[in-house]
A and B are shown apart, each in its own frame.
Chain A
Amino acid sequence: MRLFIQTFSLVLLINQSALADEASSWLKTEIDFILNAYNNSSTTNETRFLIIENTINYNFAGAGIAKFVAGKAWAGAEKNTKKDYITSFKRHLALNIASLMKGYSNQEYKLINIKYDSKNKVSLIDMEIYNETGSLVVTWRVKKSKERYFVIDLLVADISLVVTKRSEFNSMLKTVDYDLHEFNKLLKDQNESSYNKFIKSN
């Protein structure tokens, strides 16, 4: 019996380690793709952002994060409003991630400390980014679904992007009485402003 438990635990550990390695290898490819886009000087700013936005949209659980971030405003909204909101949120997420990753594009990084949280079925992958004076750890929370990986959250110095966005959105939703339709207008305006800043600053 003891041998059976030991063997079972070993198999489980090996399996978990394999899952974490697989997620890490996938993540590295996607991060490199984004960082290479920044280092490719032959593309225009608009095209570069489009490439990055598509990569982020494909690899992040954008719709799921959007719903989580909307909090209680989600339930009462119309179907078309929700659809509209998800589209705007995805652009907002892309602008946030692209802006952050741009800062890391000229720095070396290494994926360290890869863990698999079997309870929540989430891989946690620490990305250590090195600059001349030190390093910063960014943690990617990655979940597998139907043979594909999705990023569900990003933590910079213990601060979750998704939790911060939820708090920020809640503060703005309060000003429009949790009306997602009205909120969409604010979100679109912010996206336009961020897009202009991001393209200009590139």
Chain B
Amino acid sequence: MAIFKILIVFASLFFYNFSLLAVESDTVKTSSSDFETGNFEDEIYDPLEPINRAIFGFNNVADKIVLEPVAKGYRKLPSPIQTGIGNFLSNLKMPLVIVNQLLQGQGKNAGESTGRFVVNSTAGLFGLFDVADKIGLEQTQEDFGQTLATWGVGDGFYLVLPIFGPSNVRDTAGMVLAYTTDPVNAYAVREGEPWILPVRTATNAVDQRSKIIDEVNAMRNNSLDYYAAVRSSYYQYRKAAILNIDDNSQTPLPLITIEFE
């Protein structure tokens, strides 16, 4: 009983201390320039918002009842199998990555990606093992959307594609271009095995979704406007990919200054 009382006193002191600290942090204030809107794109060009929201709603339901449960099941597979599938799918993308790196004038990256593709397709058993990473050939990603952006093509308006999710006019054009020029897809169609295309796309979606289960749930459960949160996230993610930001000191810094009253 005495121990119980001590615990109650200790817990009270603990929370009292915390609330004092919290009060102290309430005195933090910012300067007036902190909430000027000029530095950030609050408005993303979204003229089809009502239609996009409807498609987004459909995708969200599809995600909840199909993709997320499948992704959760996929995450229960032994990790070497998950890693192998991820590596294999990533290796299949490499020919187009190389093409896009060349189109963007990234000779060094294209050379490294070619090396990665050759090493992983041979020593890595058709891409199942990422041997290239172990010898210092780092993975970099480029797609047609990024290439078009590098060539000066603007975003166009925001689009939500059924099943495929957030995009914009430029990235959708890039996606169509990738789908039609991908050598693996072309080979599958030529060999009379077109079923490979949707299977590849679906497996890729499950693999990618399995990597962000916690993040998506955190955003979905805590957003006032989940649609707007996903839209903003998509634009930030693509902007970083286009600018090849590998260092977060280059991402826009919110002007939050701290002063004490």
Contacts and interface: CB of A to CB of B under 8 A. Distances in A.
B244 to A, nearest CB: 11
B218 interface: yes
Contacts of A74: 35
Interface in A29-73: 50-51, 54-55, 57-65, 67-68, 70-72
B22 A190 contact: no
A61 B253 CA distance: 14
B249 A117 contact: yes
B214 A103 contact: yes
Interface string B126-164: 000000000000000000000000000000000000000
B25 A62 contact: yes
- Interface residues of A toward B: which range? 35 or more
Contacts of B240: 158
Contacts of B122: none
Q: Which 9 A-B pairs have the closest CB atoms?
A: A103-B214, A167-B232, A171-B228, A158-B240, A132-B79, A145-B258, A54-B18, A99-B218, A64-B30
A70 B174 CA distance: 35
Given A158-B240, A167-B44, A133 B35 contact: no
A41 B241 CA distance: 40
A10 interface: no
Given A61-B256, A153-B256, A158-B237, A169 B245 contact: no
Contacts of A19: none
B259 interface: yes
Interface string B243-259: 00101110111111111
A198 B221 contact: yes
Interface string A98-110: 0110111000000
B257 A64 contact: yes
Given A156-B215, A172-B225, A54 B22 contact: yes
B256 A162 contact: yes
13 contacts: A61-B28, A63-B30, A64-B258, A67-B30, A68-B34, A71-B37, A133-B79, A145-B258, A152-B254, A153-B253, A163-B236, A166-B254, A168-B232
